Amino acid sequence: MKTFIQQKTIRRKRFLSTIFITLCLFLIHTSVDAQSRAMKSAKKNYEKELVAFQKLMDNQKQLNKMMRYQYGVAGSYEKKYNRKHGLATKEDYKIPKKVGIMAFYISDNDYSIIGDEWITTYKSTKKKVNVIVQRIYDQCIDGIKKQYASMGMELLSPDEFLTTEKLKNFYHNYPLPNLEGKAGVFDIAGNGAAVPDGYRLLPYGSVWGLHKFAKEQRDYFMGLDLDAFIIVEIKLTSADNTLNGIIAKFYYKNPGFKESDHAKSDKFVAGYTAYSTGNVDINFKPPIRGIYIKQVMDYTNKRGKTNKKLAPVDMNPNVSKLVEHVVASLGRNSVKQITK
C-alpha cells in the first residue's frame, strides 16, 4: 500500500500536470485569438485602402486637378524660328503617325521605420520589382494604344519600332554616360528600378539636363529617328504598398532642325532643339495605398508551423488605369500644342 506521503505526492503531480495542460491550452487559444484579431485588422485596413483608391479613380475631376502640365511641345519660339528661316511651315507640324514608347519603367524606393535605437529599412527584391513593372505594363499597354489610336497616332513598343538589327543594337547599346552617370550618382531611378521585357532603362523622366546631357540625348533620339517618343515613369515604394506618382513625357521631332545651323553645332539653344518636349505628372501626398490585390494564404514560419497571412497576389488594376489616364492626357495635350 502507498503511504500517505506517496499519495500526497501523486496528487500534487496530478494537480501540477492539470495546471500545466490548462496553461498550455490557454496560451494556444490566446495565440490563435491574437492571430485572428491581427488578420481581421489587416483585412479591414486592406479593404479601406481599396475603397479609398477606387474613390479617387471615380472622381475624374479631382484626378485632373491633381495633374500638372508642362507645355513645351512644338513651342512658339521653335515655330517662329522655322518660319523666319524658311525651315518649316505651319503645315509641317502634323500629328505624328507613329509614336515610340522609348522608356517605360518604375522607380522604386525603399522605406524606413525609425525606432528609439535603430532604423529598420524595407526594400523589395529585384525579382519582385521586375514582376511588378511587367504586370503594370501588361495591364495598361493595350488601353494606352487604343487611346493614342483615337488621336490618330500609332503607339509602338521597342519590338515594333526597332525594325532592324542595327536599330536594336543602337537602342540597347548606344553609350549614354551622362544619363547613366546621373542615374547612378543621384539615384534618379530610385533605390531600385525595373523595365518590362524588351525595354532599356532610360530614366529621362526624372533628369533635367545641362549642355552635355542635352547633346547626348539629342544624338540618341536622332539616331532612332521617329517623329515622336513618349517616356513613362511610375514612382512606387513597393515594399510599403504605395504609389507616389507618375510622370509622362512627350518628345516631338522639330521638322526644321536637320536643315538648321543648330544641327551642325553642339551648342544647346533653349526653345530650339531636335525634339521639343512637354510632360504631364501627378504626385500623391500622402502616397496612395492599396496597389496590390491580396488574398489570405498559408505560410510556414521559422519554427515550421503553418500560419496565415494577407499576401499580394496581383497588382491592383487601378494602378494601370491611372497610368493610362496620365499617358492619354499627355497625348491629348501634346496634339493640341502641335496643331495650334
Tens-place pLDDT, residues 284-307: 999 999 999 888 877 777 777 777
Task: Examine residue 288 and state whether it is found in any structural domain, yes or no.
Answer: yes
Task: Examine residue 98 and state whether it is found in any structural domain, yes or no.
Answer: yes
pLDDT of 26 reads 46
92 and 131 both lie in a single domain: yes
pLDDT of 11 reads 56
pLDDT of 289 reads 92
Instruction: Answer whether 122's CB lies under 8 Å from 110's CB.
Output: yes
Task: Examine residue 81 and state whether it is found in any structural domain, yes or no.
Answer: yes
87 and 212 both lie in a single domain: yes
100 and 196 both lie in a single domain: yes
Average pLDDT of the segment spanning 212-226: 85
What contacts 201, CB < 8 A, 6 or more positions away?
A: 103, 105, 183, 189, 193, 194, 195
Total tally of structural domains belonging to the chain: 2
4 and 46 both lie in a single domain: yes
182 and 326 both lie in a single domain: yes
How high is the mean pLDDT of the chain?
Answer: 83
Task: Examine residue 315 and state whether it is found in any structural domain, yes or no.
Answer: yes
Task: Examine residue 63 and state whether it is found in any structural domain, yes or no.
Answer: no
Asked whether residue 210 carries a pLDDT value surpassing 60, the answer given is no
Whole-structure pTM value = 0.83
pLDDT of 249 reads 95
For 303-327, how does the pLDDT look when each residue is reduced to its tens digit (9 = 90+)? 777 777 878 889 999 999 999 999 9
For 50-82, how does the pLDDT look when each residue is reduced to its tens digit (9 = 90+)? 999 999 999 989 999 999 998 889 888 999 999
- Its domain, for residue 15, covers 1-58
For 150-180, how does the pLDDT look when each residue is reduced to its tens digit (9 = 90+)? 999 999 999 999 999 999 999 999 998 877 7
Asked whether residue 23 carries a pLDDT value surpassing 70, the answer given is no
11 and 125 both lie in a single domain: no
73 and 180 both lie in a single domain: yes
304 and 169 both lie in a single domain: yes
80 and 54 both lie in a single domain: no
pLDDT of 109 reads 77
Average pLDDT of the segment spanning 77-106: 93
51 and 125 both lie in a single domain: no
128 and 81 both lie in a single domain: yes
pLDDT of 263 reads 79
Local confidence band at 186 (pLDDT 50, 70, 90 cut-offs):
very low
